[in-house]
Chains A and B, each alone.
Chain A
Amino acid sequence: MKNNSMLEIKNLHASVDDKEILKGIDLKVNAGEVHAIMGPNGSGKSTLAEVIAGQEEFEVGEGNILLEGEDLEELSPEERAHKGVFLSFQYPVEIPGVSVTNFMKTAINESRKAQGLEDMPANEMLKKIREKSEMLEIDRKFLSRSLNEGFSGGEKKRNEIFQMAMMEPKLAILDETDSGLDIDALRIVANGVNKLRSKDNAIIVITHYQRLLEYIVPDFVHVLYNGKIVKSGTKELALELEEKGYDWLKEEAAV
């Protein structure tokens, strides 16, 4: 079998303030795949996303996270980003006075610098911004506004996916990107994500609801409960969860 592993998580434990949140996660995501992680509130979904991104608030006890076979343990969040890890935040922060364009320009050029490349030429940057904003049906005026300041919930999420499109990550983790989106916005965002799918990258979609998965169809679905993946399956599992809720899994896990 060809080794095209994008992300491999082995027995990952993580805690905050001595409280263990992730209790031994195993997950393998290959390039070209979309995985969905579902689960009730407080099961550790966002923690998993942030631990992969390198949030230092969490103490990683045991286990490893490998990106294309390379252990991320010693890498800072920005180094992980330079290697192609992207997190679409559930609650994107505001940075007053910094325009979306300026923020993206800085982000892209910092990553290029880390790879020993020169700054992206201005015309190339503009072209890319134009392309990606059109893809996500983003008004150009929006791009000169301060990052996330005064954005509606939907605008914030769309802006996250715009950034993903600009950064072209190898591994994108979308943390509840569907929350706060109306149906039109959801479709636009999902279309955007689908256009970014390729055989060279991988996407992890974290969500509560099956709704998003109608648009972004996953190859695999995992259920996270109480810090562990308690069930994995194909996209049909999402439908089953929609129908039956999580309780049956909780019972199963308790046994």
Chain B
Amino acid sequence: MAYTEEELKKELETKEYEYGFYTDIESDTLPKGLNEEIVIAISKKKEEPDWMTEWRLEAFRAWQEMEEPEWANVTYKKPDFQDISYYSAPNKKPKYNSLDEVDPELLETFKKLGISVDEQKKLAGVAVDIVMDSVSVATTFKKTLAEKGIIFCSISEAIQEHPELVKKYLGTVVPKKDNFYAALNSAVFSDGSFCYIPKGVRCPMELSTYFRINQAGTGQFERTLVVAEEGSYVSYLEGCTAPMRDENQLHAAVVELIALDDAEIKYSTVQNWYPGNDQGKGGVFNFVTKRGLCEKNAKISWTQVETGSAVTWKYPSCILKGDHSIGEFYSIAVTNNFQQADTGTKMVHLGKNTKSTIISKGISAGQSQNSYRGLVQVNSRAENARNFSQCDSLLMGNRCGAHTFPYIEAKNKTAQIEHEATTSKIGEDQIFYCNQRGIDTEKAIALIVNGFSKEVLNKLPMEFAVEAQKLLEISLEGSVG
């Protein structure tokens, strides 16, 4: 990978939790291991109300009874959950005084992605000039949002300031005991975002701009909750195209979306965590639970571009509960070197006349394994449910793998379900054709991959599509010898 750095590898390989034990609750790092005391300590540290502490404890107790799932098409050494510190100071990145001190390779990547100098500094952990006051920028955004009655803050803040909303919705789409990682997240989640759009309000901006300025560093156990009241609309963008130099190996996030009657939520993700080096050493494990609930006439679209992480386990899903509700899933998953991805979606049709669309584009290179796993479920009462699924895989070279695991369960005979799947390989004849037109091999691959991913790239917010396109190029650099 272009941004593989010796230092980062070392950081990831040598565990950072070696500084001894801290029992002082006021300190920045809790001791390794997980038990009820730790869960209580996390909750206390965040000054949470009792109901929240109790909620976490219930999740923890459930988690203890659960087993790590093994059905995904990935192999990795399971993390030792007692060897992890579950609360650590959010900012452990090295601080630099100027960009000159930052790894030139990282800067090169930033440049390729077209990220502004100020943002580069922020992302690389350089102290930002006073001129570029990100706090005040954020405040301006916040003011605009507040005028519309939109709440957009950290989940910790929401627990303090809007407990009635959090209480009402948290865990309603992804229950505490949903699965092993979701339960773990529910017990120990560090922070994340909360977004509430009032009835009939159209959020006037992509919630990305704000996000990129404020949330460059995300936590290990992120928790996000988005609630769109009746007839409202929001487009939410998570993640960043810039390489994320996160030291945490295990990531288990939970995202819950609630779209009430006639509401629409667009949720776009670009995930570019450290994928490990080209020998398959290091890298982030990304075990995510993302799910949205659609009430009557509501619509949820998931769009994701997944290029990072050593192991990805992720199925953004839609529960189409309300009649006439719509679920969409657009995904590009790139794996290179030794990366493994098992990703897809679940579309659960409960209401009448519900519709879902799945477009999945998997690109495998190197010795990676890329699996699509998707469930389309039509309940017995879901009259006239319709689904269209298209899963395309593109292979580069002959040492990688692409797999498709579609599951279809239809309990209503009026259901119309279509599934299309293709597998293709970048052909030498395609490369030669491009070469003959003066396009070198690296660029030819980028062109072919972008063409292959176009239907999904088009779903991304404009400003981001360009960066995502470049990110695909960078992720596949050096994948053809």
Nearest to A97 among chain B residues (CB) is B451
B430 A93 Cβ-Cβ under 8 A:
yes
Stretch at the interface among A30-38, A107-115, A223-231: A107-115
A82-B451 contact, Cβ under 8 Å, with A89-B433, A95-B430, A110-B443: no
B439 A110 Cβ-Cβ under 8 A:
yes
A53 B451 Cβ-Cβ under 8 A:
no
Is A92's CB within 8 Å of the partner chain B?
yes
Name, among A57, A82, A89, A96, the residue most crowded by chain B CB atoms within 10 Å (CB to CB): A96
How would residues 320 to 345 of chain B score, 1 for a CB under 8 Å from any chain A CB and 0 otherwise? 00000000000000000000000000
A81 B451 Cβ-Cβ under 8 A:
no
CA distance A96 to B433 in the complex (A): 14
| Chain B residues within 8 Å of chain A by Cβ, number | 23
Is B173's CB within 8 Å of the partner chain A?
no
B437 A163 Cβ-Cβ under 8 A:
yes
Nearest to B458 among chain A residues (CB) is A97
Please give, as numbers and ranges, the residues of chain A lying within 8 Å of B428 by CB-CB distance: 57
CA distance A76 to B442 in the complex (A): 13
CB < 8 Å neighbour of B451 from A96, A111, A167: A96
How would residues 84 to 96 of chain A score, 1 for a CB under 8 Å from any chain B CB and 0 otherwise? 0111010011011
A98 B433 Cβ-Cβ under 8 A:
no
Nearest to B427 among chain A residues (CB) is A93
A76 B453 Cβ-Cβ under 8 A:
no
B448 A98 Cβ-Cβ under 8 A:
yes
Please give, as numbers and ranges, the residues of chain A lying within 8 Å of B436 by CB-CB distance: 53-54, 77-78, 81, 85-87, 89
B433 A81 Cβ-Cβ under 8 A:
no
Please give, as numbers and ranges, the residues of chain A lying within 8 Å of B15 by CB-CB distance: none
Report the minimal beta-carbon distance from B447 to chain A, rounded to whole angstroms: 6
Report the minimal beta-carbon distance from B435 to chain A, rounded to whole angstroms: 4
Please give, as numbers and ranges, the residues of chain B lying within 8 Å of A89 by CB-CB distance: 433, 436
A111-B438 contact, Cβ under 8 Å, with A93-B427, A97-B451: yes
Please give, as numbers and ranges, the residues of chain A lying within 8 Å of B433 by CB-CB distance: 89, 92-93, 95
Is B6's CB within 8 Å of the partner chain A?
no
Please give, as numbers and ranges, the residues of chain B lying within 8 Å of A106 by CB-CB distance: 439, 443, 447
B430 A97 Cβ-Cβ under 8 A:
no
Please give, as numbers and ranges, the residues of chain A lying within 8 Å of B452 by CB-CB distance: 96-97
Nearest to A56 among chain B residues (CB) is B432
CA distance A103 to B450 in the complex (A): 12
Within 8 A of B (CB), among A179-210: none
Please give, as numbers and ranges, the residues of chain B lying within 8 Å of A167 by CB-CB distance: 437-438
B435 A97 Cβ-Cβ under 8 A:
no
B437 A82 Cβ-Cβ under 8 A:
no
B435 A78 Cβ-Cβ under 8 A:
yes
Within 8 A of B (CB), among A147-194: 163, 167
Is A15's CB within 8 Å of the partner chain B?
no
CB < 8 Å neighbour of A98 from B427, B450, B455: B450
Is A46's CB within 8 Å of the partner chain B?
no
Name, among B436, B439, B450, B453, the residue most crowded by chain A CB atoms within 10 Å (CB to CB): B436
CA distance A114 to B453 in the complex (A): 27
Nearest to A96 among chain B residues (CB) is B451
CA distance A167 to B447 in the complex (A): 18
Report the minimal beta-carbon distance from B481 to chain A, rounded to whole angstroms: 13
CA distance A108 to B434 in the complex (A): 11
Within 8 A of B (CB), among A63-105: 76-78, 81-82, 85-87, 89, 92-93, 95-98, 102-103
Nearest to A80 among chain B residues (CB) is B436
Is B80's CB within 8 Å of the partner chain A?
no
Is A55's CB within 8 Å of the partner chain B?
yes
Nearest to A94 among chain B residues (CB) is B430
Please give, as numbers and ranges, the residues of chain A lying within 8 Å of B440 by CB-CB distance: 76, 78, 110
Please give, as numbers and ranges, the residues of chain B lying within 8 Å of A146 by CB-CB distance: 451
CB < 8 Å neighbour of B429 from A78, A93, A98: A93
Is B454's CB within 8 Å of the partner chain A?
yes
Report the minimal beta-carbon distance from A99 to chain B, rounded to whole angstroms: 8
CA distance A127 to B437 in the complex (A): 20
Within 8 A of A (CB), among B243-270: none
A103 B435 Cβ-Cβ under 8 A:
no
CA distance A81 to B439 in the complex (A): 9
Report the minimal beta-carbon distance from B287 to chain A, rounded to whole angstroms: 31
Name, among B441, B451, B452, the residue most crowded by chain A CB atoms within 10 Å (CB to CB): B451
Please give, as numbers and ranges, the residues of chain B lying within 8 Å of A54 by CB-CB distance: 435-436
Within 8 A of A (CB), among B436-481: 436-441, 443, 447-448, 450-455
A77-B432 contact, Cβ under 8 Å, with A93-B427, A107-B439, A167-B437: yes
Nearest to A55 among chain B residues (CB) is B432
Nearest to A83 among chain B residues (CB) is B438
CA distance A87 to B428 in the complex (A): 16
Report the minimal beta-carbon distance from A230 to chain B, rounded to whole angstroms: 28
B427 A81 Cβ-Cβ under 8 A:
no
Since A55-B432, A103-B437, A110-B437 are in contact, a sample of 15 more A-B pairs with Cβ atoms closer than 8 Å, ordered by chain A residue number, is A54-B436, A76-B440, A78-B441, A81-B435, A89-B436, A93-B427, A93-B429, A95-B434, A95-B447, A95-B451, A97-B450, A97-B451, A98-B447, A106-B447, A110-B440
Q: Could you list 21 A-B pairs, sorted by A, with CB under 8 Å? A: A53-B436, A54-B435, A55-B432, A77-B435, A78-B439, A78-B440, A81-B437, A81-B438, A82-B438, A85-B436, A93-B429, A97-B455, A98-B451, A106-B443, A110-B437, A110-B439, A110-B440, A114-B438, A146-B451, A167-B437, A167-B438
List of 5 A-B pairs having minimum Cβ-Cβ separation, nearest first: A97-B451, A98-B451, A77-B435, A81-B438, A107-B437
